[in-house]
Amino acid sequence: MEDLTLPETHPEATNGSSANGTAANGVAAAELVGQTVEGSVTGITHFGAFVNLEGGQTGLIHISEIAYEYVRDVRDHLKLNERVKVKVLQVNPANGKYDLSLKQTREAPAAMLPKWRRGKRDKSLAEGADPVFEEKLSKFLKSSEERLLDVRRNLEAKRGGRYK
């Protein structure tokens, strides 16, 4: 029987970066920090997605860096072998792994946070909402609450109790 020898593997060859911090394509890993690069999703876990970048480097998109909204399942946002553009957040000098962000390559959505002013609450309307309809709905809710309060008072008065 012939002896089979396995090819020699080095830790530098597994993730595309060498011990001196240079990526396989000759670009210093520190120079990539803050830049947008392209890669393909190679693995999906419950805490994020692994991406193989151009040049052979491996990076992780943490679940908190996938989208601006709450991400329950990474598979709802990414698929295996999908090509993505990601921003390099940092490079771990110990192992050459890249921390990546998908959401920082996209524009942040307009915030739907309520604004408070003089005890009153003004909502900013969602995109495409009809302000006339929203005003009518607001008036209807107010009058409906007043009518319901009147009904409760009358019911309590008939029972002989006192409404608070």
Give the residue-averaged pLDDT of 105-118: 61
The percent of residues in the chain predicted with pLDDT above 70, rounded, is 67
Mean pLDDT of 96-110: 83
pLDDT above 80: residue 26:
no
Q: How confident is the model at residue 120 (pLDDT cuts 50, 70, 90)?
A: low
What pLDDT does residue 40 have? 92
pTM beyond 0.85:
no
pLDDT the model gives residue 53: 87
Report which of residues 107 and 147 the model is more confident about: 147
SS3 content of the chain, % helix, strand, coil (to 5): 30, 25, 45
- Write the pLDDT tens digit of every residue in 4-16: 444 443 444 444 4
60-71 tens-digit pLDDT? 999 988 888 888
Half-sphere exposure of 80 (CA within 13 A, CB side): 4
- Average pLDDT for residues 124-129, to the nearest whole number? 66
Q: Would you state the pLDDT for residue 49?
A: 92
CATH code for the structural domain at 11-105: 2.40.50.140
Whether 121 has a pLDDT exceeding 70, the answer reads no
Residue 54 · residue 38 · CB < 8 Å: yes
Helix (H) or strand (E) holding 136: helix 131-159
- At 125, the pLDDT band (50, 70, 90 cuts) reads low
Residue 29, pLDDT score: 62
Predicted confidence (pLDDT) at residue 50 exceeds the cutoff of 90:
yes
